[in-house]
Structure 1
Amino acid sequence: MTDLVKALSPLLDEVAQLRKEVARLQRGAATTKMQDTSLQATALNVYDDEGNLVQVIGIQDDGTAGTVTVHGPIPNRPTTPTVTVAQLGLKVAWDGVLLDSGNEEVAVSADFDRVDIHLSTTPAFVPSDNSYRKSLTTVGETILTPLSTVPYYVALVAVSKAGEESVASAVAGPFTPSQVVASDILDGIVTSLKLADNAVKAAKIEAGAVTNTKIADDSVSTAKLIAGSVSAVKLAADSVDASKIVAASITGDRIAALTITAANIAANTITAGKIVAGTITGDRLDINALIGKTAQSSNFVNDPEQGITGWQFNADGSAYIRSATIGNDLYEINETGNAKFQGLSVNDLYVDGEDFEAVVDSLPRGIMNIYPLSGALSYAAVDTDYLVTRFVIPAVEARMYRIVLDNFRFNRGDAPADGGGTPPTQMSVDVYSKYGSQASSADSRLHSHLKGQGYTASWSDDIFSSEHVFSPPDANLGQDLYIAVYTSCNGVASHPSLQTDANTRIVVEDVGGKVVYAPTVSITNYVAPAKTTYVKEFPSTWMASWGSGNGLRTDSNAYQGNYSSTWANNYTKYGFSSSIATTLSGATVKKVELYLDNNHFYSNSGGNAIIGTHANATEPTGSSSTTGTYARQSTAFTKGQAKWVTLATAFGTDLKSGAALGITLGRTSGGSLAEYGYFASSAKLRITYEK
């Protein structure tokens, strides 16, 4: 039997070797075809059983190649950190253990990335971006330093490779970092390289220990000198120049009277904001110091519609102020632009953008003359002009004049029962004019007051006043204007007459500067005059951003979209001045544009700004603010792009009516990862309108 085994032994070895070869070939046959597959300038998406994208293999959005985990399960929470006190710091350790919801230890998953260490002085704090300090990628410990010597609380948050965050661990604490005392430091171990800037206080330096040879050139600044410790006798002549003086370190009480003259002040170094009210009086001003300079209040605005706010004096001699009072004992101009002067002498004065001389010239000068009339004039013949009176308006100017016929009386005569005949049906008073010489009824008729058909309805007298406004032709300016007043009627059988009473008179009045007549307009083809177009910008006055998962955000970014479960869905509100509706009142809004400055999008190619409106007059402070009309418009931005966006017409309608007071970004629910991004904390509206 032994001999048989020996004989078969080589054969058995050969069979065993063949079995190994067969097993190897079978394993190769079972291998997926992917081992021989390559990706050419693209990426392979990996999905879970529910169809969710969990990983991208290959070329990423930013052009790099690699494997990026996009989504995954929420990590289990870490165990409570072990914390020990250190000098001006805390040593935080993690044992590498994760716990499930039942506090049972579970294995660390393959997509585990790290644990983040969060630190706060509040016991029951919620970890956030503001509380994050460091991370641990595996079992281990790290030092958090430098810290203040106050009680701290520490918690851990597990983070997956997809950026998903776990529930926070139990909070450990309080722990107070220990102070460093003298016995902790070996003699000679602290050199100048180990000392932080500003670390050595005056109280820690032995008197006389610091001599001149121990102080490096340019190493002592104003902030290191005790007030009064350096007297004038310790300073070498001309040793302190402007470059050796710290900004704002020299105050008024450190400057001897009359030590600073105009020659020592650099041009434009003293602005209005640096001068205490009332410190500069007339006897301290050198008038030559202001020549060729422009000065203005910090709030100066010259708005074409709203007028002037503040004040400005320009190098060309022009000045802008909101209002001026003449006759005040003291000179004064306040921040609002209201000025008071004892007297004021100017070459050219403008009021609300108009030449003051032209404004005054356009005002009425009032009554020039009054010509009282008395007695009565009887009409002896039909349709004959009878002279009532004459007068002269001397040296007419390019102005508007008014002639008033006041309290004239038409007496239609006697009725047939009283011996009269048929009364006149027309009675008139006519004003004729001529430049340079006496006028008559043959000259140009300036005005006519006529009583016409239907005048026979009553025998009662008719008392009337009539007036006419006119301006002399340019060719006759400077000439005397002669006026002649005539009257006539078309029947004399009833013995009619023109009569006067105690108040009958002719009044000549200057009613203001000459008005340029508009072109004659056909009343059957009237076209409304063109409106003026205005373009005005309104900067945002506040910004607030929220995440549905964590409430009001405290950083300075304006968020939208949904990135992670921590903040979940994000949205933002920009606030603007309530003056927008006032400005647009009675106007036609032609265009509304919004300026946004993108700082980030999830995709490197950019995304869409999701724009809407809200009606918050003031900044909301709660954990959410969902009122408003969100997602009214979607506009594409490249990543990091800043630009003006033209908004839909409805935005202008709502801003004009006051239904909209500001702009929103994002959605209150349903935001996506593709929309995730954030913009600058300020925005602007630019509105084009007609009035």
Structure 2
Amino acid sequence: MTNIDIGTRLAAIERRLATAQRSSRLAHASLEDTALEVFDESGSLRAVIGQQPDGTSGVVAVNGPPPPQPAKPALAPVLSGVAVTWDGAFLDAQVPPLDFSRIEIHTGSTDGFLITETTLRGTLESPRGGTLIIPAGEPVFVRLMARNSSGTAGDPSPQAGPTGPAAVVAQDVLDGIIDETKLAEDAVGRMHIQVGAVGHTELGVGTGNLVPDPSFEGQLTAQLLLANAAWSTTSGNRSPRAVRGIAAPTTQPLNLTELPVSPGDRFFLAADIRASSDWVGDSARFYMRWLDAAGAVLSYGILKATPTAGGPWTRYSAQVQAPAGAVRAIVALSIYLGTGGTVDYDNVEARTVVAAGMVLAESIGTPELAAGAVTATKVAAKTLTAKEVKALSLTGDEIATNTLVARHIAAGQLNATHLAIGVDGNLVADPSFEGPITVGRVKTDWTVVAPGRDSAKALRVDCTATASANYNLQLGSFPATAGQKVWLSVDVQTSADWNGSKVGMYVRWDDATGALLGYSSVNATPTPGSPWQTISGLAPLAAPPQAAVGLIKLLADASSVGTVTFDNAHCRIVIGSRPTGARAEISPVGLRLYDNEGGERVSLVTGQPNFLTLAGSDGAAVATIDDRGNGAFGDLAVAGAFSVGGVRLDSRLAEAPRGVVAIGRYTGGVQGGAGTYGFMELAFNSDPTRMYRIVFDAHVNPNAGGGEAVVTLRDGGASTPSINSPSLQETVLPLGGGWQRVHLETVRPGRDLGAGLHRLLTTFRVQFGPAGQVLTMFGGAGFPAHMLVEDIGPYVPDTGILNAGGGTATPPKQQYTKTYTASWSGSYANRAGYNSYYNSQCVQGYYSSTNGTQAALIGFPSSLASDLAGASIQSVELYLYYAHWYYNSGGKAVIKAHSHASRPGTFSCDSDSQTIEWGKNVGKWIDITSIFDSTSWRGVALDPNNTSLDYYGRAEGVGEGHPPQLKVTYVK
């Protein structure tokens, strides 16, 4: 080629050579589907870097030298095994080799055993040593052997042992570890049972009611049913369970309990009984089978019932008497001469009847006796015991001061019902005011009323007075210490005419002499006549210094008219490491952590804003999450998807151009005459969702002027391209004399090219030139020919049209992307009628029979319909925020489309659906183009139509913090 400065080119080559000599040998190298092998000085392969023979990639050491010999292990007996300890030392090395992998522990039962795969019992992975417990039932010998990372084993250590497992002593047995399956029959006798250890829950007989599980709720009934296939459980009569028997000639009776009796003993039997609509039989029976000392049946005492088939629960009762010779009785249920259907039993009773006069126990009380009829002179000495005294009939008024001391209380006689303090952490005994403790609390103006809030009873104070007054009632007391904090909670309801200033609950702090020190309270001023509400919280003031006693009280202040009703009172101690400064506090609402200045660093509580501040070693904050969900961190690493505003970051990045995806350069030349000649090839992978710009640039030099150069871009697809491959673009260049630059460029959607590999080829030819014309296409060192493919962004539809410039052409189509915020939403019970209880919330799935399988509809403004009229939908995305799922791990959203312009009274939607896995408290955008494929759709439905709890969840609707949104891209 003429006009090329040889000296200039040589200088350029020298500069490039100097640069190459200074650069790293592997600065621009890579291993493509192969591996790099590392050899030592002797030529032995020591490592393989890159692709391994099994298809995986990594660094694998091979043929390493044997590791050194480990030191002798130390052995110690432990329960069921031997503890093997290696101190990290080697006999023939000071330090472990750098390719150390592990220490193998081998055991054998004979002296001098050989190490094999079957003697391996475990490994120690640390070169510093360690201890591992090896299971063993007899003495064993132990040897250690080291292995390096290439799997080569060294010499085994000296042998240690034999050492066997340690003997088991009482101190080694965990409390509660021995159950009934570990005890031999008759192993436990009376001398082994501690006095008072067996209570009513351990006995197969009731207390008062001789049937131990009369409403069939407990474990005893479950065990009975396991042994009798004809009986099962069903829903009870005002109780969770009842038992059901199959009416058949072969139905076995259900034995409930066995108890000792004496001839002449009388018993009262009663039961709730119900028969199925198809029941056929003689009778349903509840009976006692009388047995003599030899176990022979003497006779039966029977409660015989003839329930109406399909009728309601009915109570039946009878009295029976033990015959002569009876020593035992079996209490049982049966269906007599049944041939079809079932019979249900619930709330069964078997009680002893007082023999004298056939009077039921406790049927004679004070009202049946004349005043003064029974005096001390009529009562024989020591004939009145605890069972003759009516429950709760002796109060403090009947007992002289200081006459009851510890020796007067029988062992085991005081339980939770006798204590004026709670036993479950709540310091208020009888917090829902159901029992005798509350009866003893009430005083003037206070009464027990029914019903309460989700309970049978409540406490009410009558605030009627001639002048405004304060009312309080003590619920209990507890020992206190300075700095102690309490959490208080109580449900309150005020009458419509109540005129007080506040209601609530407080603790009065007294010193050891009873002097007042201060108060800790929670209170509020509810609207008169409003429904039940809960007043609760951490009382702001702690127990003051010298506090010895805390008095728990209810309060209703400054009232003269109306009533205040209280229920479900709670007073719980807040657990804290210290009263002030840096500390942790745990209360019923959650956890709080404080710094040295007493400021909250972590607040994880219910019903209040939560926040989290993490501090470094110097106490300074290093990461925070505030009560609005805003976070500040140092470095952030995300293993899963990272979303911004509900959109995954990779989706946002996909909206931007990705730049050059393929490029090629060429500094040589190709000369051609008549015909077509190939010049440069460039390959790339096409994505149908992207747009591509393809550029070719080179120089041409004809040997004579005249004619034209035709340059063509061709696509060979995944095959080798040729001069006959399909043309993508072509440019024509008139040829003059000397060098000329040729440039070809085209923009193509990936969907037009097709997904996958495309091998592009540029070709050239001359036409209309002088005879014998020759054309050279070339590039040089300073002006290389180049070809590139550039990703210029996501797919954009072709909306251009012909416009002759006359001013009357139809406007061209445009692509629009618009986001619509939902204008209405709601939930539908049983996938039928609108459920106003949830307002605009979007509930889907099944939780209970109350609302059945629910669904939700979400609609968007009328502008959606006008925008989509005559449009072609390109893509549709939906934003939802799920605030709740049944499972903490999340659930499944089932999304469909609908055509409702406004919220309908009944539910309906399209049948096509899309199911998306969704996290709890997660808002995100999802592509629903596949189901929102018609311009007639006006919104979406959440409709799983499935009773699995995986689908039960709630998305936020219109008017909430994260309302639904719809983003539509369309051409119009």
More helix per residue: 1 or 2?
A: 1
Check whether TM > 0.5: no
Using structure 1 for the length normalisation, give the TM-score. Answer: 0.31
The structure having more radius of gyration, on CA atoms, is 1
Higher normalized strand content (fraction of residues): 2
Q: Determine which structure has greater relative contact order: mean sequence separation of CA pairs < 8 Å that are 6+ residues apart, divided by chain length.
A: 1
Q: What's the TM-score once normalised by structure 2's chain length?
A: 0.23
